[in-house]
Amino acid sequence: MSEWTVRRATAGDSGAVVELRALMFSSMGVAGVDDAAWRRGAVEWFERELGGPRACVVVAEGPDGRVVAGAMGGLRFETPSPVNPNGVWGLLNNVATQPEARRRGLARACVPGVLDWFRDETDATVVELFATGEGAALYEELGFTPTAWPAMRLRLGSPPSPVD
């Protein structure tokens, strides 16, 4: 892996990070990946947030300077609970590698940098993630354990269709 550089992303990497995000969504079968509006909004978000206190992205780039893999961490703030006494949660997400750079350990090399950010630079006491089947083994190796409750989601703004 010596020809690869693993480093913290900057605002200048926003476009490449959004491409990795789109790749992740595409591999998950999420609709609308090619929509320009979300991509524009995401680039603007990364330009604003990277280097700040609420988000961290660690990327791997090749000798040509092209970003080909990355991992992201963000903070979530909730009421303190027995599971998380200070209420500051980390969310590890957006772990993705461009197809031509896979099976080289690049995403695996990016994740510890994000976990170090959580430990060293934030008040997060618990880190969560939503693992794909393909990524679960990596996360278990890093100490993540499955939870008893699966995620559920409600989209606000669009009422559910009436049942006949």
Identify the pLDDT of residue 131: 84
Q: Are strands 88-97 and 67-77 parallel, antiparallel or unpaired?
A: antiparallel
Alpha carbon distance 76, 113 (integer Å): 19
Q: Which residue has the higher pLDDT, 29 or 6?
A: 6
Strand ranges (DSSP E) for 1-53?
5-8
pLDDT in tens, 81-90: 999 999 999 9
Q: Name the band, by pLDDT with cuts 50, 70 and 90, for residue 158.
A: low
pLDDT in tens, 109-137: 999 999 999 999 999 999 999 888 888 88
Q: What structural domains does the chain harbor? A: 5-141 (3.40.630.30)
Q: Name the band, by pLDDT with cuts 50, 70 and 90, for residue 162.
A: low
Alpha carbon distance 129, 110 (integer Å): 15
Question: Can you give the pTM of this predicted structure?
Answer: 0.90
The burial of 61, by beta-carbon neighbours within 10 Å (0-12 exposed, 13-18 middle, 19 or more buried), is given as buried
